[in-house]
Structure 1
């Protein structure tokens, strides 16, 4: 399990949600391995591939809420392939899920660049928490 300062994380995620005009509600992060995340992907989304995060959105109006499954195996392999620190990549994935709950997508044309910009802005906010 990653060493996470829960209080700092809660404060940061609340600030990120607020910056997007949202209110942070209950966010549940489930840290798992690749086998667990592919099982979730197959059972609930009918996708047959590994991923770093799967977000289930329970938001209502401005209140963002959801369950997020994060494969620590995939986060680690992505960090290695990108040449970045594991903890930094994990924080990026954590905020990525929240940004999805805030309505930011990354699958359509040009959306990945928009998501990455929002991730970078959110990570910059972490320094102030």
Structure 2
């Protein structure tokens, strides 16, 4: 997917990408063939939900119902149907994006914080 001019790629893996949109103050998550927008709190909720998926339980549970995890994030029209492999790829993508968000925040503080001299 070519990056539109108002989006900056925040993090990418072989399975998706997260873009930052400063114009609308949101993140666009590209995963499993589609792109979904999320405001900052909703993106953090999405990450928290995906991180809370018990991968070990999915792997060891023989029930067919445990083969997939289905959820619909808050204020989103997107429904995610994730296999065990999808969950692992999605966790990797969201974790990398969150680390880049923290790094960007630290860089901004270092560059634009008022200098304090004693």
TM superposition score normalised by structure 1: 0.27
Bigger Rg over Cα: 2
Q: Specify which structure has the bigger relative contact order, considering alpha-carbon pairs within 8 angstroms and separated by 6 or more residues.
A: 1
Q: Which has the higher helix share?
A: 1
Q: Which has the higher strand share?
A: 2
TM superposition score normalised by structure 2: 0.29
